[in-house]
Structure 1
Amino acid sequence: MVPQLTLIVVTLAARAGGWLGWDYTDNWPAAVAVGLAAMFLVTGIAHFAPPLRADMIAIVPPRLPHPALLVTLTGVLELVGAVGLLIPTTRPAAALCLFLLMVAMFPANVHAARMANAPKSMHSRLGARTGVEVVFLAAAAVVVVGSL
């Protein structure tokens, strides 16, 4: 819920700044990029913050090796991607890479939805989680297409 709210609130605030004359967010793709950057800052930090880190490690599908390392790596990639979204020249590449990262990480969400004992912070119904993921992917696509 926090990532979705972060994306929405920060995107709207950034776009309002554009309407008020802030050139950095004078269009929707730029404002969405700022919203996504904030969202990935929140989710990236969560990869390192207890108890969420342990919960994320717990939902890594068992067929994948080194769950803690994967959670660390994806957290770093999210944080680097967030910075990339804020730099106009790297924005399209960062959004594309984050799009691909979200697709790659989605199996962990599917696994969590199917786990009988998923951590409460990571459990959601698959349909709801898929809907949220589609919104995140669409936001990244808006940034890629709108930044070209």
Structure 2
Amino acid sequence: MKPLLILFGVFGLALLFTRIFRGHYEFPLSGRIAMSGMLVFTAMGHFLFSEGMTMMLPPFISYKTEVVYLTGITEVVAAIGLLIPNFRRTTAWLLILFFILILPSNIYAAVNHVNYQKGSLDGPGLIYLWFRIPLQILFVVWTYISSIRNYEI
């Protein structure tokens, strides 16, 4: 829920600032700024809650802590890449792939009731997937619309 709030909050602020400083709303730019802000926010969790995040990974994955740190770094790099015009589209396609690849870990965590912030097995469980899967789809669509799709507003 927090990443969604960050995404919408930063989007609203970015729209406001583009309107004030550029004289018009810049929806794609504001969308990229919002996604970048959300990615930096979620990346922090990879470092602050790394022990709990390792619990989200299925047993067959080796080097769990390293994978958690690597995915956190990946999110920060993607946040930067979305804001650099020459890297925006490539970053967006890779980010969409990233969102698809991490979904199984979110499903595994929900099935096993992982609470990554506490590092315990008392999370919300399968009910969480009713929120997480649509959220993941929103992230994919948001990234596509704000970074890949060509249009003028």
RMSD of aligned Cα (Å): 2.0
Contact 1:29 1:147 in 2 (8 A): no
Contact 1:19 1:26 in 2 (8 A): yes
Q: Which residue of 2 aligns with 1:130?
A: 133
Gaps of 5+ in 2: none
Structure having the higher Rg: 2
Contact 1:6 1:35 in 2 (8 A): yes
Using the alignment, how far apart are the partners of 2:66 and 2:143 within structure 1? Answer: 25
The number of aligned residues is: 144
Q: Which residue of 1 aligns with 2:9?
A: 9
Using the alignment, how far apart are the partners of 1:8 and 1:59 within structure 2? Answer: 26
Contact 2:40 2:75 in 1 (8 A): yes
Q: 2:95 aligns with which of 95, 98, 115?
A: 98
Match of 2:39, SS state, is helix
TM-score (norm 2): 0.85
The runs of at least 4 consecutive aligned structure 1 residues that moved more than 6 Å come to none
Contact 2:40 2:76 in 1 (8 A): yes
Determine if the alignment matches structure 1 residue 48 to structure 2 residue 44.
no
State the percentage of identical aligned residues: 26
TM-score (norm 1): 0.87
Give the partner amino acid of 2:115: P
